[in-house]
Amino acid sequence: MRRETPVARIRLVLSPEVAIGPGKVNLLEGIRETGSISAAGRRMGMSYKRAWMLVDTMNGDFSKPLVKAIKGGKAGGGAALTALGKDVLERYRRIEQATAQAAAGDLAALNRSRRKPSKT
Paired residues of 68 in beta bridges: 80
Binding of a second copy by 83 (CB under 8 A): no
Closer residue to a second copy (CB): 13 or 70: 13
- Applying CB under 8 A, what is the total number of residues that bind a second copy? 43
φ and ψ at residue 36, rounded to 5 degrees: -155, 135
> Using the rule CB under 8 A, is 75 a contact of a second copy?
no
In our burial notation (b when 16+ CB lie closer than 10 A, e otherwise), range 64-87 reads: ebbbbeeeeeeeeebbebeebbee
74 touches a second copy by CB under 8 A: no
- From residue 1 to residue 40, the character string flagging contacts with a second copy as x (rule: CB under 8 A) and all else as - is -xxx-xxxxxxxxxxxxx-x--------------------
Looking at beta carbons only, is 29 or 61 nearer to a second copy? Answer: 61
Q: Which residues pair with 4 in a beta bridge?
A: none
